[in-house]
Amino acid sequence: MNDISASLRKTIASLASARRRREAGLFAAEGTKCVLDTLGAFRLRHLAATPAWFDEHPREAALGQSVVARRPDMARMTALSTPPPVIAVYEIPQQTEPQIAPDTLVVALDCVQDPGNLGTIVRAADWMGVDTVLASADTADIFGAKAIQATMGAVSRVKVFYCDLPAMLAAMPRGIGIYGTFLGGENIYTAQGIGPGGILVLGNEGRGISDAVAEHVTRRITIPSYPPGRPTSESLNVGVAAAIAMAQFRSKLFV
């Protein structure tokens, strides 16, 4: 097994940039859990790890794409505050048109900009059996290091499809409900006829759902605070709201 080259080290470090990820068609997954959860789900280009990590993971050490990186090398390549013992570099998969059936639950994100929120939503979607997330072009990049880390491996099972979201929603077949999360919408716990399928739309952290997307929402829903009238936070974090809403949709399967 060879030591990492200066050229490869620079290439991996450059993947912290969204532009460089797009140009190279590559992304990095960092840390033992993240790497082991994603190996096999994406086409592996490089696996850089410390000697100690390879000693503990002999099967991965035998991969032809494996190279040894010392701790100073890892510190130069990582996008994390603490250098991980292993970094995997994968090819970004080709995006394919999602197939959405009326009884399928899909999450749609309108300009969710925080990569941690995006990763949390993908992780919650994975838990709830949602395998497709539609995302506006200005939503955070799922292949950024912070988003990948926040998915905790769920990115290997949940596909994020970037698109012109208003156009995508406008093209949905009749019979697929499009539910938007708004303050002042119907109470999600008591509203009749919600779920188990449909498209659940969540908006930007500060501005909510845009007017262009809201035009295609067929039903507005809200997660009420409890008890009614009690002073509380202005709104829920979008990742928390997504998890609660998905759980409510899924609850219809157990009635």
What per-residue confidence (pLDDT) applies to 95?
87
Task: Give the whole-number percent of the chain exceeding pLDDT 70.
Answer: 99
Given this structure, which CATH class describes domain 6-91?
alpha beta
d(CA 77, CA 69) in angstroms, rounded, equals 10
pLDDT tens across 169-188, in order? 999 988 899 999 998 899 99
Given the structure tokens 């032809």, which residue do they identify?
Answer: 64
Domain boundaries, the chain: 6-91, 105-254
pLDDT at 255: 54
Q: Where are the alpha helices (DSSP H) in 82-131?
A: 115-127
CATH class for the domain made up of 105-254 = alpha beta
> CA–CA distance from 241 to each of 7, 36, 133, 198, 204 (Å)?
43, 29, 15, 16, 12
- pTM, whole model, 2 decimals? 0.92
Note the pLDDT tens digit of each residue in 201-231.
999 999 999 999 999 999 999 999 888 778 7
* Confidence bin at 42 (pLDDT 50/70/90): very high
CA–CA separation, 30 vs 110, rounded Å?
A: 27
Q: How far from chain centre, in Å, is Cα 222?
A: 22
Helix or strand holding residue 21 (H, E): helix 18-24
User: What digits encode the pLDDT tens for the residues 189-203?
Assistant: 999 888 788 999 999
pLDDT digits (tens, 9 = 90+) for 65-96: 999 999 999 999 998 888 999 999 999 999 88
